[in-house]
Structure 1
Amino acid sequence: MATTVGLPPARSRLCGACPLGPDCFPGSLASAHLYELEGLIEHTAPAHAGSVVFRQGDPFEHIAVIRLGTVKTYAIDREGREQTLGFHMPGDFIGLGAIDDGRHPCTAVALDTVTLCRLPFRATADLAARMPMLQAKLFRLMSRDIARATQLSCNNTADERLAAFLIGMADRMAARGYSSSRWQLTMSRMDIANYLRLAPETLSRLLRRFQAEGLVSVEGREVEVRGRERLQALAAVEPASATCAGHARSEAA
């Protein structure tokens, strides 16, 4: 059974030296404002794979930035089906989707060892009203989440979705100082298939074809991108087909 992340109220003045740098809220603040924000931050104890950060329906009190590890968010529909919504890495914020309703619309669970920096939302929002740079950062984070969700809601083919996922992972790894061509997946193929709205068999077949075409090499959870330019071209759909309106194209079954 999944356990909930422990949250001791330890606080420290370490944001200035944090390796997340400008990817985090503090990275956009002057030192005087940074000190004020640091007073609100709670550093969580390490949570292991399967630990729940928050559950769908929980009251919304905090937003959190991932300091270490990977978090999966998913929602359960009325028929009990799970839909993977995203994979969140160091520097990503989680919990922003609960701002409007006051309750979390999804569950967040650790995929490996995870540590978080939590901020009480009301106090953070009050600070943002006095700090334009902090407010702008919050808006950019919300916009980024919307953009990622929109990409998957469009009528892209299975090939395009997988190519976009691989390129997106490569870019996110590079932004965090890791190799953009070779990395270890923390999520399962079942989770990836669910996230891409594909049947697991479809994902496996696509990966075999991508390997046969020299686009990627996959061994277990280790992925190596070998044909980035071709994947990039495949992921970049034409404007007419990138819109979320229009006719749906058939997906390989």
Structure 2
Amino acid sequence: MLDLLSLDDFVTHSAPAGVMVRRRHQPLVDVLYLESGTIVFGVQEEGRMRHLLGVMHAPCWLDAAPALAGQPCAVDMMAQTQVQWRSVPVDRLRTSLQQWPADAQGLVTSMAQGYCQQAALAVSRVAQDAVARCAQWLLQHAEPVHANEAISGLAVHLAQSKRQIAAHLGIAPETLSRVLRQLRDQGLLDGAGKSLRLPQPESLRQLAKS
């Protein structure tokens, strides 16, 4: 696309290491071309790249694939070094692509869609990994409910704070809270406060294996 699009027409931006350049689910009105520096991408939590999925070195397009596929960015992008980039309006990028032969346009669009699918799958696996770790922890700390109680099964008493549990699992507290809500929605977790009941321990074991 560089042979049909003059990047000199667009303003240069720069940022030091540690700055978030793109955030997940961010609608794209422009697409970024990295001119110098290194970007890491993955899933960011609490200001840290908690789950690193890859690295991009200049020169390269950072988010041309989701822009061409008409999708938001699937990953967080953070400057690993001092970086410099140019932002190009998405419409300008798409217009430049339309000057290509039809077969070439179809190939590029198909590759962009495939990249987006792979990125979404990678992020989904990261989330699933957090669910599996939480399920394992709950089962490891579960105890049988007393037989004289009306409801049988397993229960967990949270002797630690959620922040401590999240640190033990290697995830952010926000991720732990999200996973616990997800387990409740699936009917695998019940109760509030420090006492949690596991009404379907077998289903939780299946999650723990994933």
- Shorter-normalised TM range: 0.3 to 0.5
Question: Looking at CA atoms only, which structure, 1 or 2, has the larger radius of gyration?
Answer: 2
Normalization by structure 1: what TM-score? 0.37
Normalization by structure 2: what TM-score? 0.44
Which has a greater percent of strand?
2
